[in-house]
Chains A and B, each alone.
Chain A
């Protein structure tokens, strides 16, 4: 099943890479300069790092049947806090800690609304999505705060052979994969997503788990926000992380994790994030105006979603007449 789900995103990624090579043969070239690895593919990884990181947090949230729309705003807040603190004379390490603790608090807030008050995730996180950017603007007083701090700069544009940003994202991805797949945690998260009531009857503490995933998503968004702002040495409350929640959700969905919750695939999420970032880069390479990227994004999303949809799966599996589209029961019956 998992292999089947990853087939189409893999095809999409492969096609994009082939297209890139066809247009610009130097696409695959990698060179080492001053101990840093350079090349188009490294750029894709570096630019995709924040999206990937947020998508990892989002995967767990979505696996519990939730969604977190506030991540972009939280990323903006993290950048705003860190940059305001540093420009006020603070040191970078404290700034990062301060920003991340606020993000944890924001995650706690989202988790509280969803798990304790039982508000629908999409609307609970919409509150912070709307108000959060306003808050970030308040912090920066509507200005773009620029900073010059060599240490802070490292997060977004530093190198340890590979860009540090992508190393952070990959480390988080690996850690999450190990923690959720080598322990029962992953199964518990899926249990909450598949059937919260049954999970609870089986002794799963769904409230704690739901709360935890929102805090984790907030933290991921915070780190991603630091990467974004450190990459440009500035905090732009209006535009930092704008639409990144949509990209992250798309990455998760392209990766085969259903928005209806339950089974999730971290490998899929990584593939999804790569597809989205490669697509963006490809469009640059081909020389299409940047804004038109959106059309390509829409086409890829729709294509991948249609190919993964229950209906297509059923049609591919057996070309039989579908009488009444009662998706759940038929899906269970079919697979």
Chain B
């Protein structure tokens, strides 16, 4: 994509989708604060992060994958598998640290396997990650068909721990983890060779290869990143739910993809920003809190609104791409 070459000349346009996402966030949040008395409080903003910390982490991983022009449908299932492995190992008496390492390791390994199949056997990412999704969900049920609650005291203590910010705003540790992941990912994506290669592969894989970039490492690497993020997202989710269950996070991959697209990342690859994805998650979170504040609206309105937002953003992207062409 020509964005790199045009970076200085088209500075505002390059950021247009992200700015639009941010504008939507401000507008939806503004609408909430006008309509409901207690909406515009620091705690509601903080809750957006608390309730969606896992989604932010998943969206970070998905952004890497989509930037290369791929897609990862397995994120929800891998997150569910992580909650299950965490619950099972903790209840079996493993020390929490070992259990966490196991979870993260298995997520990354699953990602690596999918990446290798996608790259070396040239099978479409859609199909491979779909199989990954089935595999991960199946493995959950192999561990247990029932929901397993986590009783490990240290883990529960960490889950209920809160950080109090000035103004009586409380955050959980998951938010800190999520923000750390975002910062680390920003560094990797924008300031390392791997990150630049990810953008290059998404722009044009053959050009990137001809330029001598390590395209295979980037193509496989993004799935490892996504697998790792899914596992971490699953861990955060298990902190949130305090249980492991094979039916956790069903359909979450769609929410994540929606957040990334609303955040301005093109599914064709090569164009997009991590910050956009994070704001995309916040938009989804705001819609959800708006609907729960309203009270009379049923939860399925969330889906309809997300669909409408998704539509608005893809049409907007389409217009931008058309103008550039």
Known: A122-B267, A137-B298. A298 touches B138 (CB 8 A): yes
Q: What is the CB-to-nearest-CB distance from B5 to chain A, in angstroms, rounded to a whole number?
A: 24
Report how many A-B pairs have Cβ atoms within 8 Å: 137
B314–A124 contact, CB under 8 A?
Answer: yes
Most buried by A among B128, B138, B139, B140: B138
Stretch in A206-214, A224-232, A307-315 touching the partner: A307-315
A130–B254 contact, CB under 8 A?
Answer: yes
Q: Which residue of A lies closest to B304 (CB)?
A: A134
A301–B130 contact, CB under 8 A?
Answer: yes
Q: How far is the CA of A120 from the CA of B257 in the complex (A)?
A: 14
Q: Which residue of A lies closest to B258 (CB)?
A: A130
**Is the C-beta of A183 less than 8 angstroms from some C-beta in chain B?**
no
Q: What is the CB-to-nearest-CB distance from A53 to chain B, in angstroms, rounded to a whole number?
A: 20
Most buried by B among A260, A291, A296, A311: A291
**Is the C-beta of B308 less than 8 angstroms from some C-beta in chain A?**
yes
**Is the C-beta of B302 less than 8 angstroms from some C-beta in chain A?**
yes
Residues of chain A lying within 8 A (CB to CB) of residue B302: 134
Chain B interface residue count, Cβ-Cβ cutoff 8 angstroms: 46
User: Could you tell me which residues of chain B, from 287 to 313, have a CB within 8 Å of some CB in chain A?
Assistant: 298, 300-304, 306-308, 310-311
Classify the secondary structure of B's interface with A: helix
B298–A301 contact, CB under 8 A?
Answer: no
B304–A131 contact, CB under 8 A?
Answer: yes
Q: Which residue of B lies closest to A141 (CB)?
A: B298
Q: How far is the CA of A295 from the CA of B254 in the complex (A)?
A: 21
Known: A298-B135, A301-B131. A137 touches B314 (CB 8 A): no
Q: How far is the CA of A246 from the CA of B251 in the complex (A)?
A: 12
Chain A interface residue count, Cβ-Cβ cutoff 8 angstroms: 50
B122–A128 contact, CB under 8 A?
Answer: no
**Is the C-beta of A160 less than 8 angstroms from some C-beta in chain B?**
no
**Is the C-beta of B142 less than 8 angstroms from some C-beta in chain A?**
yes
**Is the C-beta of B263 less than 8 angstroms from some C-beta in chain A?**
no
**Is the C-beta of B248 less than 8 angstroms from some C-beta in chain A?**
no
Beyond A123-B261, A127-B310, 4 additional contacts (C-beta under 8 Å) are A117-B315, A126-B254, A260-B124, A295-B142
B binding-site residues for A, Cβ under 8 Å:
71, 117, 120-124, 126-128, 130-132, 134-135, 137-142, 145, 206, 209, 246, 254, 257-258, 261, 267-268, 298, 300-304, 306-308, 310-311, 314-315, 318, 322
